[in-house]
């Protein structure tokens, strides 16, 4: 009979080996500390790209994927499309929810000028609960947030952290440039990854935040979504360093692409010389990475030149699904970025005060352009059925006007 492995004992580690291990850990900690300057706040610069799957777009399908990008928070939500069968817009709740999350994150975490705020931020779960309580729309959605907290103190020193909150089957992948064998070799490697929360492993039944009425669920309990947030949310904290890359996506990304495929796409575009001083990545390049990831996801659902379907995590041929992706880089929160965001906030307040018959865009296009210009310091997200992204628009003026008319499920 084959013998099982049984219990493996814990081995004693001698003093000399302990001392060697401590020296190695100390060197690594010192190396990371050199990258992190004391009291140096960080922020996200990000871009989002999403696209309705062509097979769904032909049937007039409502794309309920929503993204948010801002200096202190990036997020993804995927509205449950079945809600449309009851005459409801499945994108309304995820849009309201992420907009409320962004507002709270900026109030609680945005540095005051170049100073850190203290005491306002209580963690991702209280933030999500307060955001949900501020919404009114009916619907159901998954949600994923990455919150950049500059107020965390470790061993008496400020140390920026990324707090991740996940409800459902959206996922996040954090990458970091790690030095190779050669001093001039550096590549992105995965240092953190969440897992999907699916009920009984069913790909069509993720954990969800919902608000329903008797048309959809006669037994709906208003306490349930708060229980999902407080007891069901998966929360993680990851150290944040300048140059870290955050990739977030709906299940359409991670059901179709293996992690190493996502890492390879990022390494194809985000090349760095470790011997050189860190320079933030151009935001247009981040949007190109997000675009490539979404395109690679949809390519899995089409046969290749040999008529064969490629392997995917969910199975050969992948899953035909609406797909959204956020790609963010962690960079220093500078005075220039602080001033740019202050302009955005002033212009948003101005837009909320003055409207023309309820339609600000009809008479205030110049102010909208000012907001877009300032927002490029941090990244924007756009969506339409053909696929679009944030950042500096390209193409003719006619294409830009057409694209702006189709912006829907993005918050920036």
Written as one string, the DSSP assignment of 136-161 is: ---EEEEEEEEEEETT-EETTEE--E
Asked if residues 341 and 55 have their Cβ atoms less than 8 Å apart, the reply is no
State yes or no: pLDDT of 398 exceeds 50: no
Flag whether pLDDT at 200 surpasses 60: no
- Lowest-confidence segment of 27-41, 190-204, 272-286, 332-346 by average pLDDT: 27-41
**CA distance linking residue 203 with residue 208, whole number of Å:** 13
* Residue 184 pLDDT grade (very low, low, confident, very high; cuts 50, 70, 90): low
Label residue 156 left, alpha or beta by phi (over 0 means left) and psi (-120 to 50 means alpha). Answer: left
Say if CB 241 and CB 36 are below 8 A apart. yes
Residue 378: pLDDT band by 50, 70, 90 thresholds? low
The arithmetic mean of pLDDT across residues 48-75, rounded, is: 85
C-alpha distances in angstroms, 285 versus 185, 271, 377?
21, 11, 13
Instruction: Supply the DSSP symbol for 167.
Output: E
**Residues 165/124, Cβ–Cβ less than 8 Å:** yes
- Of residues 66, 320, 85, the one with CA closest to residue 203: 320
Does the pLDDT at position 99 exceed 50?
yes
% of the chain beyond a pLDDT of 90: 43
Q: pLDDT (tens digit, 9 = 90+) per residue, 223-242?
A: 999 999 999 899 999 999 99
Does residue 386 contact residue 356 with C-beta atoms inside 8 Å?
Answer: no
H/E segment holding residue 388: strand 388-389
With a cut of 80, say whether residue 190 has pLDDT above it.
yes
- The sign of the CA dihedral 112, 116, 118, 122 is positive
Q: Supply the mean pLDDT for the chain.
A: 78
pLDDT at 4 over 70: no
Residue 302 to residues 3, 60, 264, 290, 319, Cα–Cα distance (Å): 46, 20, 21, 20, 10
| pLDDT at 332 exceeding the cut of 70 | yes
pLDDT of residue 249: 95
Better-scored residue on pLDDT, 137 or 345: 137
Q: Let me know: does 148 contact 69? Beta carbons within 8 Å.
A: no
Mean pLDDT, residues 95-113? 89
360 has a pLDDT exceeding 80 = no
Please give the pLDDT value at position 388.
Answer: 44
**Greater confidence, 285 or 179?**
285
Model confidence at 58, pLDDT cuts 50, 70, 90, reads low
DSSP state of 401: H
Select the more confidently predicted residue: 409 or 20.
Answer: 20
Residue with more model confidence, 220 or 327: 327
Residue 329 predicted with pLDDT over 90: yes
Other Cβ atoms within 10 Å of 314 Cβ, number? 15
Please report the pLDDT score of residue 352 as a whole number.
54
Structure tokens at 274: 């470790």
Q: What 3-state DSSP class applies to 89?
A: coil
What is residue 3's predicted lDDT score, i.e. its pLDDT? 46
What mean pLDDT do residues 358-382 have?
43
- Confidence check: pLDDT of 52 > 90: no
């Amino acid at each position: 009979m084959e013998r099982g492995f049984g219990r493996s004992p814990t081995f004693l580690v001698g003093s000399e080996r302990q001392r060697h291990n401590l020296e190695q850990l100390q060197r690594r900690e010192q190396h990371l500390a050199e990258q992190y300057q004391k009291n140096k706040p960080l922020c996200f610069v990000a871009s989002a790209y999403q696209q309705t799957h062509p097979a769904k777009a032909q049937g007039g399908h409502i794309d309920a994927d929503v993204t948010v990008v801002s200096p202190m928070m990036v997020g993804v939500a995927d509205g449950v499309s079945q809600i449309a069968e009851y005459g409801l817009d499945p994108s309304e709740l995820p849009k309201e929810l992420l907009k409320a999350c962004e507002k709270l994150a900026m109030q609680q975490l945005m540095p005051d000028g170049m100073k850190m705020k203290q005491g306002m931020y209580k963690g991702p779960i209280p933030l999500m609960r307060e955001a949900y309580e501020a919404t009114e729309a009916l619907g159901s959605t998954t949600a994923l947030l990455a919150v950049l907290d500059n107020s965390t103190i470790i061993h008496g020193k400020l140390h920026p952290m990324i707090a991740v909150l996940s409800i459902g089957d959206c996922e996040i992948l954090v990458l970091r440039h790690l030095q190779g064998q050669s001093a001039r070799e550096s590549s992105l490697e995965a240092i953190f990854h969440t897992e999907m929360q699916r009920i009984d492993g069913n790909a069509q039944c993720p954990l969800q935040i919902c608000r329903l009425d008797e048309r959809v669920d006669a037994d709906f309990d208003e306490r349930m979504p708060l229980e999902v947030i407080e007891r069901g949310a998966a929360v993680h904290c990851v150290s944040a360093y300048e140059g870290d890359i955050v990739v977030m996506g709906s299940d359409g990304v991670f059901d179709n692409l293996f992690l190493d495929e996502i890492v390879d796409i990022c390494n194809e575009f985000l090349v760095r010389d470790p011997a050189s001083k860190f320079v933030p990545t151009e935001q247009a390049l981040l949007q190109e990475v997000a675009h490539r990831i979404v395109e690679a996801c949809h390519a899995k659902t089409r046969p290749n030149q040999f008529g064969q379907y490629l392997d995917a995590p969910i199975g050969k041929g992948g899953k035909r699904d609406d797909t959204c992706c956020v790609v963010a880089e962690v960079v220093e929160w500078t005075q220039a970025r602080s001033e740019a965001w202050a302009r955005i906030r002033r212009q948003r307040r101005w837009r909320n005060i003055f409207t023309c018959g309820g339609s600000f865009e009809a008479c205030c296009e110049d102010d909208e352009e000012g907001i877009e210009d300032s927002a490029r310091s941090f990244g924007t997200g756009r969506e339409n059925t053909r696929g679009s992204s944030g950042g500096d628009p390209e193409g003719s003026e006619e294409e830009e006007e057409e694209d702006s008319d189709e912006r829907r499920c993005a918050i920036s």
